[in-house]
């Protein structure tokens, strides 16, 4: 398996050869930041394009097909349009919070995004309580959404924000429980370690029944966390026109939009990392030849393939199901997912104690 | 067939006689029409008993034109609530005891009463106002006080501290420019106030200056998803009044077209309901299949939405040569598609939860509001005009009137889905047996209707669509009234939605399936 840390270490040594250490580290941080933002933006474009094509396929349509081959430049054209649009200042809005809200949402999602281990040695933020950090960082997003709804001075926005608050805070619980279930199996919260421990077998196979249950709960809760259908009621367009971002225009709206898509990728990437082995190739214990061939496929390909597979699952769900109602969402969480998650955690504890996993 | 005889009741006895009729079993106020009798103003009420099927038509007139006052019957039939407000707006008749005497369709600062015969329509009187109409939270009401004097009081609709949100006129789920003002407590609806009239075109007033064949052009623009039915009703009414016979071929064609239109409308209903509930994929399925019906219409009528097909004494053109084949192909195509709809939406657990038990309208309320069509049948009221007063060739075909008893959103949905199947059955029975004959009966160049009043009704896509013509023997009607299929549904929505959540309001609106141009005629 190619270790990307060879490249980073070489680059670090190169910079040190003619720069003092402080400057070198600063320069590296800037480069990594730029790389991160670029990847973030490109991923958002790729996801938007994928969403449009996937939903078109489900709906017996073609989707974008005019701008560039297969319409691949459509999204870039849209981004360009969005960038040139006026950001409308609305009266009676809390100016500061109104302008701040989209950035809080984006910052939260960039922070969470930087936790994803893309390849071996390519972790950007990687420390002992990585799982905790990721969950804490992604929870900041709900503050941005609440602020957006509240500061817009619009009744639809406010209802959307309240729904979103209730929904995201509730479902955070399920996400936490399902991740904790796996953490029990791993003994670590560091993402690079979590992936390393799946070298022989992915956790979804290793933890069998409880891991599978945790995976399903995680997918449901992750879908709800990203405010996507059937849990898209904070922005339910047929009820609240656009929910919390009704009053936003131009790139401020664009930031919400981009953050929503990357959040979906974060949820999918996290599922890939924790349950499906992250950048770890697919190995079958005993079949050494097969495993060796699998090892030739680079780690980031594995990671993106798994993440996009989960993204596809999420899109499939979104374009199939109708929207839930707010009380039904909370029923589902508090009456079903949380109790099941708790019992599941207990089950995992038993399995770990008696060493019944693979 | 409704008798065209009208019983006149003096205004003093009006309320008591109406109450008496209600006690005798006339529980369905089919239509309430405002009239300008020349020296006085008044109303014509079409009543029906849902138990015996008996009809009665009653009219009354005010004492003078200067102070036109009538007792309200909105305490007897809830259907009168919005209808009386309409009459108040157009004729200026004040209904004593009516809780809410705002104009239904017009602005509050409108000068004059447009449907009166002496109305001044010059643009100076009512210029295009550049100011916003302020929405008031209270409404005037006229009550008789203890010593028999008329007294104006104020009814408060929304208190000062209430959290009122506007749903509409521009809103994705109102299916047009209809406006609800909803008072919320959290997500729960406490009160709902309907504001209509954003696209009122005054079709009834226009008809008074058009000849009978000219009036036909306007009915397609009422409920555009029941264009065939609307025009069928108007043609039928004129034909019955003028004594014009139509050939069997025309009756067959009209019936088939009506049923195709019904399928078209119900497919659109399915699509829009799915979209309202967030199932965007199912929306496309419905629209994809509806397109095929529009193609069939286009082949024969030339139009897809505005069809202009029925004429007095026949239809505009004979059916296209490939009509029969295309209809058969379509029916064969639609059957498996319906199963797909049920797979993708009806049997989905979320869809069930969103619809079952939500927005219940009881049978009594449905009758009282006059909410016919699928809404009434979902509540267990057998209100299908095709069975009650058969027209076309409905007496010669075998079909089931789909009835449910729950009265909730899911029942309304299922009624429509099963009606698609019944409509296909009707078409199948007719399509191979269209008799030969002329597609148009020769009529006089100028059609006049003998003096009198006439009423004819058809089962349109969303309920009973009636046409009431008051003729003075002229070549244009003295008064023409269209019984809206959507207005009763909208008047019932306040009752249905109380205590529901905002999301339920969307489901309720979706399953009531009103079409706004039909409410605002």
The shortest CB-CB distance from B172 to any of A61, A241, A322 is to A241
Does any domain span residue B298?
Answer: yes
Residue of A nearest to B172 (CA): A238
Task: Write the CA distances from A239 to A5, A161, A232, B506, integer angstroms.
Answer: 50, 13, 11, 7
| Start-end of H helices in A59-94 | 74-84
Residue B476 CA, chain-centre distance (Å), reads 23
Q: Quote the pLDDT of residue B76.
A: 87
Cβ B278–A320 below 8 Å, yes or no? no
| Same domain? B301 vs B417 | yes
What DSSP element (H or E) covers B465? strand B463-471
Give the count of domains, chain B.
Answer: 2
Whether the Cβ atoms of residue A133 and residue A113 lie closer than 8 Å to each other: no
Measured CA to CA, the distance from residue B73 to residue B199 in angstroms comes to: 27
A289 touches chain B (CB under 8 A): no
| Same domain? B210 vs B320 | yes
Q: Quote the pLDDT of residue B266.
A: 92
Residue A95 CA, chain-centre distance (Å), reads 29
Contact list, A59 vs chain B (CB under 8 Å): 280-281, 283-285
Cβ B503–A156 below 8 Å, yes or no? no
| Same domain? B259 vs B394 | yes
Q: Residue A233, exposed/middle/buried by CB under 10 A (0-12, 13-18, 19+)? A: buried
Task: Write the CA distances from A167 to A142, A226, A234, B209, B512, integer angstroms.
Answer: 10, 10, 8, 58, 29
Contact list, A152 vs chain B (CB under 8 Å): none
Does any domain span residue B164?
Answer: no
Nearest to A138 by CA among A326, A293, A275, A269: A269
Cβ B351–A230 below 8 Å, yes or no? no
The shortest CB-CB distance from B279 to any of A60, A321, A325 is to A321
Most A CBs within 10 A among B171, B182, B274, B278, hence the mutation to make, goes to B278
Indicate the residue among B99, B118, B137 that finishes a domain: B118
The pairing of beta strand B310-311 with beta strand B188-195: unpaired
Whether the Cβ atoms of residue B32 and residue B45 lie closer than 8 Å to each other: yes
Residue of B nearest to A55 (CA): B281
pLDDT in tens, A306-338: 899 999 988 888 888 888 888 888 888 899 999
Cβ A322–B279 below 8 Å, yes or no? yes
| Same domain? B386 vs B269 | yes
Nearest to B409 by CA among B333, B486, B513, B314: B513
Contact list, B172 vs chain A (CB under 8 Å): 237-238, 241
Q: Quote the pLDDT of residue A142.
A: 87
Whether the Cβ atoms of residue B393 and residue B251 lie closer than 8 Å to each other: yes
Sheet holding B188-195, edge to edge: B163-167, B179-185, B188-195
Q: Quote the pLDDT of residue A126.
A: 82
Whether the Cβ atoms of residue A186 and residue A339 lie closer than 8 Å to each other: no
A331 touches chain B (CB under 8 A): no
Most A CBs within 10 A among B170, B184, B277, hence the mutation to make, goes to B277
| Same domain? B223 vs B331 | yes
Indicate the residue among B118, B151, B179 that finishes a domain: B118
Q: Which of residues 232-261 of A touch B (CB under 8 A)?
A: 232-233, 236-241
The shortest CB-CB distance from B187 to any of A319, A321, A326 is to A326
Low-confidence ranges of chain A (pLDDT < 50): none
Sheet holding B479-483, edge to edge: B452-460, B463-471, B479-483
- Written as six digits, the tokens of A196 are 């390393």
pTM of the predicted protein model: 0.87
- Written as six digits, the tokens of B150 are 């008329």
Domain with residue B399: its CATH number is 1.10.645.10
Q: Quote the pLDDT of residue B244.
A: 86
What is the mean pLDDT for each group of 10 consecutive residues in chain B (521 residues)? 71 84 86 86 87 85 82 87 89 85 84 85 84 80 77 81 83 80 86 87 88 88 88 89 86 90 91 86 88 90 88 87 90 90 87 88 89 89 86 87 88 91 90 86 83 88 88 87 89 87 86 87 82
Contact list, A60 vs chain B (CB under 8 Å): 284-285, 288
Cβ B278–A319 below 8 Å, yes or no? no
The alpha carbon of residue A326 is apart from the nearest alpha carbon of chain B, in Å, by 8
Residue of B nearest to A236 (CA): B278
Q: Quote the pLDDT of residue A343.
A: 92
| Same domain? B250 vs B104 | no
Query: From chain B, which residues contact A within 8 Å (Cβ)?
Result: 163, 165, 171-173, 184, 187, 274-285, 288, 344-345, 348, 350-351, 353-354, 501-504, 506
The alpha carbon of residue A198 is apart from the nearest alpha carbon of chain B, in Å, by 36
A229 touches chain B (CB under 8 A): yes
CB pairs under 8 A between A and B: 84
Indicate the residue among B118, B133, B162 that finishes a domain: B118
The alpha carbon of residue A24 is apart from the nearest alpha carbon of chain B, in Å, by 52
B32 φ/ψ angles, rounded to the nearest 5 degrees: -130, 115
The shortest CB-CB distance from A61 to any of B274, B284, B502 is to B284
Most A CBs within 10 A among B280, B288, B290, B505, hence the mutation to make, goes to B280
Most B CBs within 10 A among A59, A158, A325, hence the mutation to make, goes to A325
Residues making up chain B, counted from first to last: 521
The per-residue DSSP string of A218-231 comes to HHHHHHHHTT-TTS
Q: Which domain holds residue B329?
A: 206-485
A9 touches chain B (CB under 8 A): no
| Same domain? B71 vs B219 | no
3-state secondary structure of A128: coil
The shortest CB-CB distance from B277 to any of A55, A156, A322 is to A322
Contact list, B278 vs chain A (CB under 8 Å): 229-230, 232, 236, 238, 321-323
Contact list, B345 vs chain A (CB under 8 Å): 322
- Written as six digits, the tokens of A154 are 């619009």
Domain with residue B97: its CATH number is 3.30.460.80
The alpha carbon of residue B351 is apart from the nearest alpha carbon of chain A, in Å, by 6
Q: Which of residues 77-116 of A touch B (CB under 8 A)?
A: none
Most A CBs within 10 A among B165, B281, B287, B509, hence the mutation to make, goes to B281
Q: Quote the pLDDT of residue B3.
A: 60
Task: Provide Rg for chain B, Cα atoms.
Answer: 23
A55 touches chain B (CB under 8 A): yes
The alpha carbon of residue B411 is apart from the nearest alpha carbon of chain A, in Å, by 18
| Same domain? B249 vs B108 | no
Residue of B nearest to A59 (CA): B281
Measured CA to CA, the distance from residue A244 to residue B96 in angstroms comes to: 45
| Same domain? B217 vs B326 | yes
Does any domain span residue B154?
Answer: no
| Same domain? B107 vs B224 | no
What is the helix, strand, coil percentage profile of chain B, to 5?
40, 20, 40
3-state secondary structure of B451: coil
Residue of B nearest to A230 (CA): B278
The shortest CB-CB distance from B278 to any of A60, A229, A327 is to A229
| Start-end of H helices in B243-362 | 248-276, 280-301, 323-341, 349-355
Does any domain span residue B196?
Answer: no
The shortest CB-CB distance from B281 to any of A240, A319, A324 is to A319
Percent of chain B topping pLDDT 90: 7
What is the helix, strand, coil percentage profile of chain A, to 5?
70, 0, 30
| Same domain? B323 vs B442 | yes
The alpha carbon of residue A22 is apart from the nearest alpha carbon of chain B, in Å, by 53
- Written as six digits, the tokens of B512 are 């009531």
| Same domain? B289 vs B425 | yes
Does any domain span residue B63?
Answer: yes
């Amino acid at each position: 398996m190619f270790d990307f840390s060879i490249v980073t270490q070489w680059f670090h040594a190169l910079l040190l050869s003619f720069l003092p250490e402080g400057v070198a580290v600063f320069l590296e941080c800037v480069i990594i930041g730029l790389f991160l933002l670029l990847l973030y933006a490109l991923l958002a474009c790729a996801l938007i394009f994928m969403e449009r094509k996937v939903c078109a396929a489900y709906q017996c349509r073609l989707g974008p097909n005019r701008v560039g081959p297969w319409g691949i430049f459509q999204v870039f054209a849209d981004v360009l349009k969005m960038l040139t649009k006026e950001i409308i200042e609305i009266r009676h809005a809390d100016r500061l919070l109104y302008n701040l809200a989209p950035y809080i949402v984006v910052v939260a999602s960039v922070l969470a995004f930087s936790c994803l281990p893309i390849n071996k040695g390519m972790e950007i933020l990687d420390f002992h309580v990585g799982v905790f950090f990721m969950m804490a960082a992604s929870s900041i997003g709900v503050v941005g959404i609440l602020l957006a709804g509240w500061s817009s001075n619009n009744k639809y926005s406010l209802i959307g924000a309240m729904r979103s608050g209730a929904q995201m805070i509730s479902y955070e619980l399920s996400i936490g429980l399902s991740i904790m279930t796996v953490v029990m199996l791993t003994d670590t919260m560091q993402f690079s370690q979590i992936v390393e421990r799946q070298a022989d077998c992915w956790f979804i196979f290793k933890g069998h029944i409880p891991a599978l249950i945790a995976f399903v709960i995680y997918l449901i809760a992750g879908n709800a966390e990203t405010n996507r259908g059937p849990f898209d009621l904070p922005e339910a367009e047929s009820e609240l026109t656009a929910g919390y971002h009704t009053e936003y225009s131009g790139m401020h709206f664009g930031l919400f939009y981009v953050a929503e898509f990357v959040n979906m990728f974060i949820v999918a990437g996290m599922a890939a990392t924790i349950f499906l082995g992250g950048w770890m190739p697919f190995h079958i214990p005993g079949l050494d030849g097969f495993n060796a061939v699998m090892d030739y496929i680079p780690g980031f390909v594995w990671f993106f393939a798994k993440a996009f597979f989960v993204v596809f699952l999420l899109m499939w769900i979104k374009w199939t199901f109708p929207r839930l109602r707010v009380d039904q969402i909370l029923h589902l969480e508090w009456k079903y997912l949380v109790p099941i998650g708790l019992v599941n955690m207990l089950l995992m504890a038993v399995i770990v104690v008696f060493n019944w996993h693979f | 067939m409704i008798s065209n005889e009208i019983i006149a009741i003096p205004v003093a006895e009006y309320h008591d006689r109406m109450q008496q009729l209600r006690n005798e079993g006339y529980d369905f106020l089919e239509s309430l029409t405002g009239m300008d009798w020349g020296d006085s103003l008044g109303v014509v009420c079409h009543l029906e008993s849902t138990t015996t099927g008996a009809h009665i038509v009653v009219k009354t007139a005010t004492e003078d034109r200067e102070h036109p006052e009538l007792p309200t019957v909105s305490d007897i039939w809830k259907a009168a609530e919005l209808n009386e407000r309409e009459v108040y707006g157009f004729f200026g008749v004040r209904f004593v005891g009516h809780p809410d005497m705002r104009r239904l369709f017009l602005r509050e600062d409108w000068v004059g009463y447009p449907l009166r015969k002496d109305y001044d329509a010059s643009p100076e009187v009512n210029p295009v106002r550049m100011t916003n109409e302020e929405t008031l939270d209270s409404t005037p009401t006229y009550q008789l006080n203890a010593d028999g004097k008329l007294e104006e009081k104020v009814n408060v609709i929304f208190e000062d501290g209430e959290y009122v949100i506007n749903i509409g006129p521009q809103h994705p789920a109102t299916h047009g420019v209809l406006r609800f003002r909803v008072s919320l407590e959290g997500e729960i609806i406490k009160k709902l106030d309907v504001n209509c009239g954003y696209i009122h075109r005054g079709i009834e007033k226009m008809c008074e200056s058009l000849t009978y064949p000219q009036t036909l052009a306007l009915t397609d623009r009422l409920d555009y998803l029941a264009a065939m039915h609307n025009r069928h009703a108007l043609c039928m009414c004129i034909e019955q009044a003028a004594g014009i016979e139509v050939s069997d071929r025309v009756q067959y064609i009209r019936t088939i077209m009506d049923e195709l239109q019904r399928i078209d409308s119900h497919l659109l209903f399915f699509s829009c309901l799915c979209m309202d509930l967030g199932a965007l994929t199912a929306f496309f399925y419905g629209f994809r299949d509806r397109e095929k019906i529009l193609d069939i219409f286009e082949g024969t009528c030339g139009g897809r939405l505005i069809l202009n097909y029925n004429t007095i004494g026949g239809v505009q053109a004979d059916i296209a040569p490939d009509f029969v084949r295309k209809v058969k192909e379509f029916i064969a195509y639609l059957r498996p598609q319906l199963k797909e709809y049920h797979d993708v939406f009806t049997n989905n657990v979320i869809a069930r939860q969103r619809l079952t038990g939500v927005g219940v309208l009881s049978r009594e309320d449905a009758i009282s509001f006059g909410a016919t069509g699928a809404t009434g049948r979902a509540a267990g009221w057998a209100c299908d005009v095709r069975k009650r007063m058969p027209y076309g060739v409905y007496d010669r075909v075998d079909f089931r009137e789909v009835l449910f008893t729950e009265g909730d959103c899911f029942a309304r949905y299922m009624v429509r889905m099963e009606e698609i199947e019944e409509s296909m059955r009707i078409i199948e029975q007719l399509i191979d047996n269209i008799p030969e004959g002329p597609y148009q009966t020769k009529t006089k160049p100028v059609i006049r209707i003998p003096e009198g009043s006439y009423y004819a009704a058809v089962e349109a896509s969303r309920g009973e669509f009636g046409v009431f013509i008051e003729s003075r023997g002229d070549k244009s009607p003295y008064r023409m009234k269209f019984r809206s299929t959507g207005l009763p549904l909208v008047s019932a929505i306040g009752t249905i939605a109380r205590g529901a959540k905002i999301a339920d309001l969307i489901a309720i609106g979706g399953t009531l399936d009103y079409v706004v141009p039909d409410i605002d005629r």
